[in-house]
Structure 1
Amino acid sequence: MGWKLSERSLRRLEGVHPKLVAVVKEAATLSPVDFMVTEGLRTLARQTALVRAGASRTLKSRHLTGHAVDVAAMVDGQVRWDWPLYPRIAAAFKAAATRQGVRLVWGGDWASLRDGPHFELDRKAYPEARK
């Protein structure tokens, strides 16, 4: 535990809602599994390309407004997509969010199309328009 985000991960948080950035940073210090931020704020062109490629199913992604991030587990310096790693990372995100009073949604909790690497601010608490 006690991981620190890389400069690359920090750059990928540019344009992301400050409350989510704070949760990501604290989660890194709490997580038993190291992780990197793979994506934060996306352009509509990028989101459209992901939908075309089948990597996303919506053009209403929370990434478009900076309300979502995706992460990748890192084990021995290598990206890993093994499902059991992601609930462990999610527990750290949820703990950080609770400590900060931030309502967070984890894609791994979705009933369909579970998305373990995805975290977003709750739409009800953090609507599209930034405050």
Structure 2
Amino acid sequence: MKHVNIQQVRNTQQLDDAYFVRKTVFVNEQQVPEELEIDEFDETSLHFTGYDNDEPVAAARLRFVQGYGKLERICVLKEKRGYSYGRQMIEKLEEAVRDHGYDKAKLNAQTQAEAFYEALGYVTISDKFMDAGIPHVTMVKELNH
């Protein structure tokens, strides 16, 4: 396992780095329209950027909705997948959820990533639905303090 340096975004450069990773993965690779990828929730979300030797390679955002920490926009650059950066990002997000006093996490997973989240303890609670033309399911996890 390679370690990724995950930072909660505290400045414009870190936010730009997060958007770079998100646009590379979602807009360029998965063909999500940019106006759907960057939305009104970005201004009020907590953002996280993962760095490999100061190079941005992973990103995610976190919101608090209806008693859940909602993990969103989780992504790793294609050439950096397979190093457990995604798992490390999820662990960092779960830690932030607990730090904010919540004990449940929720996410909308692309169905192709459902097994990844199941391996991290998430349980599917919805039927498949389409988001930005990509099939998703809602998943939840009880977090232990």
TM-score by length of 2: 0.34
Name the structure where strand makes up a greater proportion of residues. Answer: 2
